[in-house]
Amino acid sequence: MNWVAAVQHLTNAGEAYVLVTLIGVAGSTPRDSGTKMVITTEGIYDSIGGGHLEHKTIKFAQALLKTGDACQHLEHFQLGIHLDQCCGGSTNVLFECFAATQAHIMVFGAGHVGTALIPILAGLPCKITWVDSREQQFNNLSTDYVNVKKVVRANPQDEVANMPRNSYYIVLTHRHQMDFDISLEVIRQEDYAYFGLIGSRGKWQRFQQRLLQRNVTQEQLQTVNCPIGLSNVSGKLPMEVAVSISSEVIEHYQNLKSENKNSQKTEGKFEAVASIQQPSSLDVKRKQKAALHQGVQLKMIKQVLNDN
């Protein structure tokens, strides 16, 4: 896969990546100015000429990816003096880091509702892990979605530990005990953005009693959406339930996005006032801390170049 196809594939899948471009090439170099390659945490696409230059470029790009931030960075390389490459020229390397922007969703259950739900979620800006204990459930399903990963696991609750913070969990398996085991594991993580559990109010009442016996708090129980889905989207057909669930998920992440935008606007207003008035000691400390963090982060990334 060349870098153009890789960018399209990774963007559609919502994966983080670094686009690397050679610019300002001088003297003899393995590749010309404008040459590009794409680097992810798990692979590389295309090449900027190989050798020590490419080795250091990959290490630097992967260090950028670990920060989880979108950024741009320009680094100068002397191929002969610093990289021991016989061509002896020099080049600037532009690193453009594109952070993963989609929500991470784990769907438990490949039954009728799960099968109806996955195509809807796959059209959203999200990365989906679809888990079921029954391998045969996936045998007749062909998902051509780049953002959907199927996982067969005898104990589906063990997959919860593999998800990043602020993930979305949708639980709709074929067994109540399995639903309970997954629910307990998700609640114990305490770092999810959304947790929806399929079932009646009676089922949820019984689950709450059992969860309280497992030291789950009332506050934690309040974070569970059960019955799952928007109440004003009615219907019991698998597709109707799937639409209700996906509507609730969309409403949740859109509200979260709005809250983040409002928070940024409010912070911007405070900073504008602070620029006119004498800044408080708290403002100074906050900015100093942010600058120090950025400086330490960049220093750690640059250390990659020196160590490799």
CATH label of the domain that carries residue 215 = 3.40.50.720
* Amino acid in the structure at residue 46: D
- Residues sharing a CB contact under 8 Å with residue 295, sequence separation 6 or more, in sequence order: none
Q: Which of 190, 85, 106, 177 is nearest to 148 (CA)?
A: 106
- Residues sharing a CB contact under 8 Å with residue 180, sequence separation 6 or more, in sequence order: 207, 210, 211
| CA angle 202–133–218, rounded 5-degree value | 35
d(CA 23, CA 56): 16
Q: How many structural domains compose the chain? A: 2
182 in the same domain as 118: yes
d(CA 196, CA 249): 9
The answer to whether residue 300 sits within a structural domain is: no
Task: Give me the pLDDT at residue 77, please.
Answer: 81
- Residues sharing a CB contact under 8 Å with residue 167, sequence separation 6 or more, in sequence order: 103, 104, 105, 106, 191, 192, 193
Considering the chain, what is the average pLDDT of its residues?
83
229 in the same domain as 146: yes
146 in the same domain as 25: no
162 in the same domain as 94: no
Query: For residue 281, what pLDDT band results from cuts at 50, 70 and 90?
Result: very low
Task: Give me the pLDDT at residue 254, please.
Answer: 85
Query: For residue 99, what pLDDT band results from cuts at 50, 70 and 90?
Result: confident
The answer to whether residue 202 sits within a structural domain is: yes
The two structure tokens encoding residue 172: 């709709």
Task: Give me the pLDDT at residue 120, please.
Answer: 95
> Which helix or strand (DSSP H or E) is residue 213 part of?
helix 201-213
Bridging pattern class, strands 36-39 and 44-45: antiparallel
Q: Which residue has the higher pLDDT, 90 or 275?
A: 90
Task: Give me the pLDDT at residue 298, please.
Answer: 60
Instruction: State the CB neighbour count (10 A cutoff) for residue 200.
Output: 10
Report how many helices (DSSP H) and strands (DSSP E) the chain contains, helices first.
Answer: 9, 10
The two structure tokens encoding residue 146: 């780049």
123 in the same domain as 29: no
The answer to whether residue 234 sits within a structural domain is: yes
Under DSSP, the state recorded for 194 is E
Residue-range definition of the domain harbouring residue 92 = 3-101
d(CA 227, CA 7): 39
- Residues sharing a CB contact under 8 Å with residue 175, sequence separation 6 or more, in sequence order: none
